[in-house]
Amino acid sequence: MKNIKYLLILISFGMLNQSFSQDTIGKLTFETRYQLRHDSTYLPNLNVRYFFKENSALRIGLAYQYTSVLREINEVDGDGAGTVEKLNDMFTFNIGYEKHFRINKVSPYLGGEFQFGIGKNEEYGSRTDSVIFIADYNYSVKKPISRFGVHVFSGVDFYVFDNLYLGTELGILFSSIHAKTGEFKITDESSLTDPEIITSIPSVKTKLFGVANIGMIKVGWRF
């Protein structure tokens, strides 16, 4: 505990006495972002910024989202159990612009970006039709997904030292999601005629509008 206290005192002293450079033209920043969530979503996110003017930056980023949800379905009046597993993943590339208003070690900013994503949604049912337990019944659903988004945001960077910063960001996101033609496969081991049936799932387009990056924190370094 004493070592932790000494470290905090040292960091605080450094923050109070550090000379923060205001020259940002031609600088690059590299940051990683973390989303504070309570589910099984995995969200690594990397962003790079290039300051082509004193307070203006272009940014590009790459994110990966993976979610796995497993649900168990028990047999009524029996010991059997089936499972339903839903898997979703999405790779997203973004490119955008930021306008900064840096005051010493605090740098609030506004900006916007375009987002492009590709991924898939899958669902696997074992010994169930997703509603009740069926001993010899299995199924799978596979759908490729593409997404286009427009993101308007505001954020703030706090420079702990001259090149190291912490920050957060909050925005409004409009997304157009295209679930392309998919496949629905049923395997019924009790069937005497056709134990496997494959049907096509029609494509569907949806639009979403909402708040983005709730609970996001980031750590970055300026080169």
- Mind listing the pLDDT tens digit for each residue in 52-100? 998 999 999 999 988 999 999 999 888 899 999 999 999 999 999 999 9
At residue 104 the predicted structure's pLDDT band, cuts being 50, 70 and 90, is confident
**What length is written for the chain?**
223
pLDDT at residue 38, as a whole number? 63
Distance between CA atoms of 99 and 122, rounded to whole angstroms? 39
How does the average pLDDT of the chain come out, rounded? Answer: 88
The more confidently predicted of residues 105 and 38 is 105
pLDDT at residue 35, as a whole number? 81
Distance between CA atoms of 174 and 207, rounded to whole angstroms? 7
Single pTM value for the model: 0.81
Instruction: Give percent of the chain above pLDDT 70.
Output: 87
Residue 17 sits at φ, ψ, to 5 deg, of -110, -5
Task: Please give the average per-residue pLDDT across 197-217, as a whole number.
Answer: 94
Distances (CA, A) of 144 to 43, 82, 118, 202: 19, 25, 8, 11
pLDDT at 42 over 80: no
What is the pairing mode between strands 133-159 and 81-100?
unpaired
169 is written with which tokens?
A: 């960001």
Domain chopping of the chain, boundaries: 22-222
Residues 113 and 99 sit within 8 Å (Cβ to Cβ): no
Distance between CA atoms of 108 and 223, rounded to whole angstroms? 19
Q: Which CATH class is domain 22-222?
A: mainly beta
pLDDT at residue 58, as a whole number? 98
pLDDT at residue 171, as a whole number? 97
- What residue has token string 């923050």? 15
Residue 81: strand pairing partners: 74
Residues 120 and 140 sit within 8 Å (Cβ to Cβ): no
- Reduced to 3 states, what is the DSSP secondary structure of residue 183? strand
pLDDT at 31 over 90: yes
